[in-house]
Amino acid sequence: MKNWFKNIGPGPLVAAAFIGPGTVTVCTLAGVGFGFSLLWAMVLSILATIVLQEMSARLGIISQKGLSEIIRDEIKHPVIKVLALLLILSAIVIGNAAYEAGNISGGVLGLEAIIGKKSLAIGGFSLNGLSVLIGVIAFSLLYMGNYKILERVLVALVTLMSLAFLLTAVITKPNLGEVFKGAFIPNISKENLLTVIALIGTTVVPYNLFLHASLVKEKWQKPTDLKYARKDTIVAVVLGGMVSMCIMISAASIQATEVHSAVDLAKGLEPLFGCFAKYFLAIGLFAAGITSAITAPLAAAFVMSGCLGWKSDMRTIKFKSVWGSIIILGVLFSSLGIKSIEIIKFAQVTNGVLLPIIAGFLIWVMNKSAVLGEHKNSFKQNVLGAIVLIISILLSVATLNKVFDLNIF
């Protein structure tokens, strides 16, 4: 156990990245609307995420390059390369800038549930003081450019978030038989299909593949370290998935139907469990918001560096300027209550299109001996990868269907 803690790597950062306020909201609505019956979708999401993230980590350690760098190197056709890099920049950089306000706002909701609203007047503008606080914390941690400090802080926050949501689920005293039934017996219908897709889509996210490949080379440099990276990935993703499942279990205990977020979930639990539910959920939501507010800009900076051929060094001015811009935009949009619907729709479309493309590219490059040598994919890994690729294509179609109201489903 001591040796595992010593070799803990970027896995918890990956978990921190996919458990944001959006995930908390989706899991809450899934639990309220369908009880325990969609827990199997989260189990499927965990397995799919482990498959892709293990490939991403293996690629980063063996090649000592980020995923966007590998794409620049391995796609030889100039037109296809430019189109691929533009799509990646649009989805990850612009997309994460669009979602950053939501990450910060989620953290703010958690803090407001405990200490109330705080305003801050700057140059005639009234900003949300808690949005600024979260932005300053995220900015400060990233500005240090020290991976080890960042890793420790995020591991602590993920642990805090996990305990908060786990305790909330435990105090609801769920029927364990129903929980196991929901987790291992698939139940899909026309009514719950979009919710199933949303649960998978909020867990299997494109930017984590770029983030993971870039971060593992900060931690490990030798092929012998692969065993640590695999354990780190599996433990962290399973832990993250369990957090999501705990949120669904907690929400399933709510009898009311007017629940739209974790804050409403806290109100619904109060009659049964008093103010403790509010505090547990508030801490969990704050941790979910601030961890995503840190990892989203960091992923964007790694992606832009790789796409434009910059040095992927967390201490360089170019690298800092990317994540710094995203945090500032997130704070302003969150503080002023600006909801850039068109930008968010654009981000949803590009991310929806990007996931199957990146999953397909990742499987392709994981079979190249020139890149990975003896560490290329085995037959079993390719089969699992193909299954995940099919799931990602369905997610892509569902995202486009949702955004453009195509009525495919």
The model's pLDDT over 64-75, given as tens digits with 9 standing for 90+, comes to 999 999 999 899
Mean pLDDT on 151-168: 82
Inter-axis angle of helices 129-143 and 147-171, nearest 10: 140
Is the pLDDT assigned to residue 8 strictly greater than 90? Answer: no
Question: Which of the residue ranges 105-119, 323-337, 355-369 would you say has the lowest mean pLDDT?
Answer: 105-119
Candidates 320, 372, 373; CA nearest to 65 is 372
What angle is formed at CA 108 by the lines to CA 106 and CA 113, rounded to 5 degrees? 100
Beta bridge partners of 119: 128
* DSSP 8-state class, residue 64: -
CA dist 6 and 382 (Å) reads 31
pLDDT at 168: 79
Beta bridge partners of 319: none
Give the gyration radius of the chain's Cα atoms: 20
- CA torsion sign for 192, 194, 198, 204 is positive
Residue 4 has pLDDT above 60, yes or no: no
| pLDDT exceeds 80 at position 258 | no
Band of the pLDDT at 398, cuts 50, 70, 90?
confident
* Number of residues in the chain: 409
pLDDT class of 107 with cuts at 50, 70, 90: confident
Does position 328 have pLDDT exceeding 70, yes or no? Answer: yes
Residue 198 CB partners (closer than 8 Å, separation 6+): 26, 30
User: 290 and 24 in contact (C-beta within 8 Å)?
Assistant: no
Confidence of residue 408 (pLDDT cuts 50, 70, 90): low
| E strand or H helix at 122 | strand 119-122
Residue 349 near residue 87 (C-beta atoms within 8 A) = no
**What would the mean pLDDT of 18-37 be, rounded to a whole number?**
86
Which of 94-103, 244-253, 284-293, 337-346 is predicted least confidently? 337-346
Question: When comparing pLDDT for 333 and 376, which is higher?
Answer: 376
* 8 Å CB contact between 250 and 172: yes
CA 197 to chain centre: 15
What sign does the CA torsion over 115, 256, 103, 285 have? positive
DSSP 196-242: HHHHHHTTS-HHHHHHHHHHHHHH--SGGGHHHHHHHHHHHHHHHHH
Kindly indicate the confidence band of residue 323, based on its pLDDT and cuts at 50, 70 and 90.
Answer: very high
Query: Which pLDDT value is given to residue 320?
Result: 94
Q: Is the pLDDT of residue 3 over 80?
A: no
The pLDDT assigned to 409 comes to 55
Instruction: Please determine, for residue 119, whether its predicted confidence score (pLDDT) is greater than 90.
Output: no
pLDDT at position 271 is 61
Residue 19 tokens, joined = 């458990």
Structure tokens at 125: 């503008």
Provide φ and ψ at 121, rounded to 5°. -95, 120
Grade residue 404 by pLDDT with cuts at 50, 70 and 90.
confident
**Arithmetic mean of pLDDT, 380-405:** 87
Question: Contact 58/229 with Cβ under 8 angstroms?
Answer: yes
Q: Please answer whether residues 200 and 391 qualify as being in contact, where contact means their C-beta atoms are separated by less than 8 angstroms.
A: yes
Looking at per-residue pLDDT, the higher value among 247 and 129 belongs to: 247
pLDDT band at 212 (very low <50, low <70, confident <90, very high): very high
Percentage of residues of the chain with pLDDT beyond 90? 35
Report strand pairing: 119-122 vs 125-128. antiparallel
